[in-house]
Structure 1
Amino acid sequence: MKLLFGPPATVFLLSALIILSCLASVPYLRLRYSHIPYYRYRSYFWRIPKCDIFQGEWVPDDAAPHYTNETCSHIQEHQNCMKYGRPDLEFLRWRWQPSRCELPRFDADRFLRLVRNKTLAFVGDSLARNHMQSLICLLSKVASPKDMSATWRTRDRIQYYEGYNFTIKIFWSPFLVRTEESADNAGVFKLYVDEPDGSWFSGVAEFDYMILSGANWFTRQSMFYERGQLVGGSYVALNITSNLTLRYSHRMAFRTALRAINDHGNVKAKVIVRTLSPMSHFEGGPWDKGGDCRRTRPYRSNETTMSGLDFDFYMAQVEEFREAEKVAAATGVDMVLMDPTGAMLLRPDGHPSSYGHWPGEKRALYNDCIHWCLPGPVDAWNDMLFQIMSESD
């Protein structure tokens, strides 16, 4: 009672605390700030009184990379920027610095101790593979895996660390849902947006960690099916009337995948939903008309913005995660958000550009402003990943 009806200063302080407490519980979903580089939701870590590791800047760093193309044999050719003669190495001299705390550098020995006797699954497209290969290269300081894949021809791979009984699996599932390439029209995909892709979903009960991601492939020619019926399409002629676009197929794919995980009933994994890697770093034209990414330093957070399809896809991914997170909390599924989108928006300097192949070599993506050089900024994803995985272990 003395607090409620005490001196004016005390009453003011108590009132301010009550108001701040109420504001903290108000959903952030409808707020937008013009001074930040992209539409920002509160990340998973905002609610933990430690730090939001996804808000920050890239700062100069003189530490040597954990690995090079000479010390790691798992760098895919078109991300091997050093091999193909990238002349500048400034893109390696930055580290991600959260605004209010430190993000420890990746520790291969500690990571392998953490994942002993466990299975980590990557589900997604070539950027999921880019992420996985970064992880394997970071771990190469301590141990190298044995390839246990059924065949060299498959895009699904299994890497096994015998001394730790640790398995990494990568599932090629760029749409996350069941997909068929049209028999009549190569390059056109049938997306069954209400059915999860069985390639990864059939084994979900055996995973201890699972990283789900996707974005780029939804820009391809595709037709959308629900309950087996054609309901729309993107960049294809349809014999039905539909106003559904690739934004719909992308959102529904994430919704279907996350709902399927929550409804499974036997998921022990920490499910990590990784938001997209920007698709908009091409300058001077689109990817197929001479666009390139030749910057040699990161942006500051006030020097660029997210817009267009990147913006819409990012919004959809976080919204679908938020809805799924509510159900996961009730059903006992450990589901968290990994949100490196803002950090990577600031790194147009970290792509292979033309240094993923020899000059004059014919490539479908001649200037690559989608994937990331190895080593490079993508290694920060594994700093973030290790932080997330350590939170509950």
Structure 2
Amino acid sequence: MMKCYCKIWVFLSFNGLVAVGSVISFLLAIAWAFSYVSPSSRPVTQNYDIHIPKFNGSMGICNVFEGSWISDNSYPLYDASDCPFAEHGFNCFANGRKDRGYTKWRWMPRDCEIPRFNARTVLSKLRGKRVVFVGDSLSRTQWESFICLLMTGVEDKRSVYEINGKKITKQIRFLGVRFSSFNIRVDFYRSVFLVMPGPVPKRSPKRVKTTLRLDKLDDISQEWIDSDVLIFNSGHWWTRTKLFDMGWYFQVGDLLKLGMPVTTAFREALNTWSSWVERMSNSNRTKIFFRTFESSHWSGQSRNSCKVTRRPLSKTHGRERSLISDIIIKVVKKMAVPVTVLHVTPMGAFRSDGHVGTWSDNPSIADCSHWCLPGVPDMWNEILISYLLTNEGVLLQ
């Protein structure tokens, strides 16, 4: 009997150990899988083989988006009040902001230095070229910054004008500024989703007011093709509140995708965009860029509180990562034509001091998404211009 009991005890103990080991292995596998798919647990760019602006620095090749903000009294590079193309709502100083410290910061990469901006040199190199910005209001801010930077090198300001005589407003889908002395055009196309809005299919639920055709690029896309530099951005409108709460839902072909998550839809839209770029663009002429998601600094439980600081943050508090930026990088990585990623997400994460806040043309509504001009978007353009002049000399010869 003792032998029998011993055998039974050993058998049960062995089975117990196997069972416990199986449970532990299962839990470890789940933990590993979660860490792999979780966007917040992975670096944004380190594992991606993408084309990002790099310069030759003192320590070799330098990723310009790895660095920090340093104080520089030679900034800002222009006065927004002297630039008729800077939207009044982004001119924070003119709208009552007392401190000007937010204009005195320059981005310094870790292992190299971005060449100093020289407007006359850039104008000369861009002679006869067409630069096109496509995206949402953050793209319009970069477009305005680009024009204001170039205007500092123009003697006769009247030689720079909007080709249709339009004023800079949020509602206009197309704005084009011509530098007549240099035969340069800098255009902006408002396309917040990049894909085409469409009518509601028959027998759709009442909550559906408009659809986004994820498989069709915006109907104004044919006007983007004839360009020398093409800069895209999208992301800020890809949220539940700006889509589902307003009655916008997704459509692919004839099918309404009511249950499709926003991030999945954004990926589908970018795949449509990438196919268009591969099919329609002339990589021998057009240099294409895609700017990643711009960090906002909303706070509070409902993310509706806006506190603009006086200085950049010392830590990013997780804002250097973005699922939207992850998707952009992954899609670009798979493309068959060269597209350069302007990965501004990490550098913007520090700049809680650079937002419009209540210093806009509507001070009753705080703004922790858009940026003051002059300010952070100027640095995006300095990097863009430096990349063109330093790494892509063929374009600007």
Contact 2:147 2:186 in 1 (8 A): no
Per the normalisation by structure 1, the TM-score is: 0.78
Give the aligned residue type for 1:40.
Answer: T
Distance of 1:303 and 1:257 partners within structure 2: 30
Counterpart selection for 1:204 from 203, 224, 227: 224
Deviation string, structure 1 residues 91-148 (Cα, Å, up to 9, x no partner)? 1121100000001232211111121111111010000000000111111212242111
Q: Could you tell me which residue of structure 2 aligns to residue 278 of structure 1?
A: 295
Q: Which runs of 5+ in 1 are unaligned?
A: 1-29, 233-241, 329-333, 361-365
After TM superposition, the structure 1 = structure 2 runs for residues 203-222 of structure 1, keeping only pairs within 5 Å, are 203-219=223-239, 220-221=242-243, 222=248
The CA distance in 2 between the partners of 1:191 and 1:32, in whole Å, is: 27
Question: Aligned to 1:59, which of 60, 66, 70?
Answer: 70
In structure 2, how many angstroms separate the alpha carbons of the residues matched to 1:95 and 1:181?
46
Instruction: Say whether residues 1:118 and 2:129 are aligned partners.
Output: yes
Of 168, 178, 199, the match for 2:196: 178
Is structure 2 residue 156 aligned with structure 1 residue 149? Answer: no
Assess, with a 3 A threshold, how the Cα gap between structure 1 residues 286 and 68 changes in structure 2: closer, same or farther: farther
Within the alignment, does 1:376 sit opposite 2:375 as a pair? yes
1:320 is matched with which residue: 328, 331, 339? 331
75 and 185 in structure 1: CA distance in 2 versus 1, 3 angstrom threshold: farther
| TM-score (structure 2 length as normaliser) | 0.77
How many Å apart are 1:71 and its aligned residue?
1.8
Alignment counterpart, residue 224 of structure 1, candidates 246, 250, 267:
250
Matched, 1:255 2:271: yes
Q: Is residue 392 of structure 1 aligned with residue 392 of structure 2? A: yes
In 1, the alpha carbon distance for the partners of 2:39 and 2:110 equals 17
Give unmatched runs, 5+ long, in structure 2: 1-35
- Take 2:344 and 2:316, find their aligned partners in 1: how far apart are those partners? 17
Residues 90-129 of structure 1 aligned to structure 2 (within 5 Å): 90-129=101-140
Change (3 A) 1:94 1:195: same
Measured in 1, the distance between the counterparts of 2:227 and 2:207 equals 33
Structure 2 counterpart of 1:304, one-letter code? H
Deviations 1:9-60 (A, max 9, x none): xxxxxxxxxxxxxxxxxxxxx7999999x63335524877531111100011
Q: CA deviation at 1:263?
A: 1.6
Change (3 A) 1:223 1:379: same
The one-letter amino acid paired with 2:369 is: I
| Pairing of 1:267-306 with structure 2 (within 5 A) | 268-279=285-296, 281-286=297-302, 289=304, 291-300=305-314, 302-306=315-319
Task: Specify the alignment match of 2:24 in structure 1.
Answer: none
CA distance in 2, matches of 1:346, 1:292: 15
Task: Supply the distance in 1 between the matched residues of 2:309 and 2:206 (Cα, whole angstroms).
Answer: 38
Give 1:251 deviation, angstroms. 1.4
Correspondence 1:150-169 to 2 at 5 A: 154-169=172-187
- The Cα of 1:245 is off from its aligned counterpart by 0.9
Contact in 1 for aligned 2:88/2:360 (Cα 8 Å): yes
Matched residues, percent identical? 25
SS in 1 for 2:353: helix
Give 1:298 deviation, angstroms. Answer: 1.0
How far has the Cα of 1:69 moved from its partner?
2.8
Aligned partner of 1:130 among 123, 126, 141: 141
Count of residues in correspondence between the two structures:
334
Q: CA deviation at 1:357?
A: 2.7
> In the TM superposition, what is the alpha-carbon distance from 1:375 to its structure 2 partner?
0.6
The structure with the larger Rg is 2
The answer to whether the 8 Å contact 1:191/1:225 transfers is yes
Partner AA of 1:337 in structure 2:
V
The answer as to whether partners of 1:32 and 1:40 remain within 8 angstroms in 2 is no
RMSD value over aligned CA atoms? Answer: 2.9
1:33–1:392 Cα change, 3 Å: same
Aligned to 2:33: none
Name the SS for the 2:62 alignment partner.
coil
Cα distance between partner residues in 2 of 1:164 and 1:186: 51
Deviation, 1:278, is 1.5
Distance, in Å, in 2 between the alignment partners of 1:211 and 1:335 is 10
Larger CA deviation: 183-192 vs 96-105: 183-192
Deviations 1:161-212 (A, max 9, x none): 111111111111000011147699899541111111121x212331111001
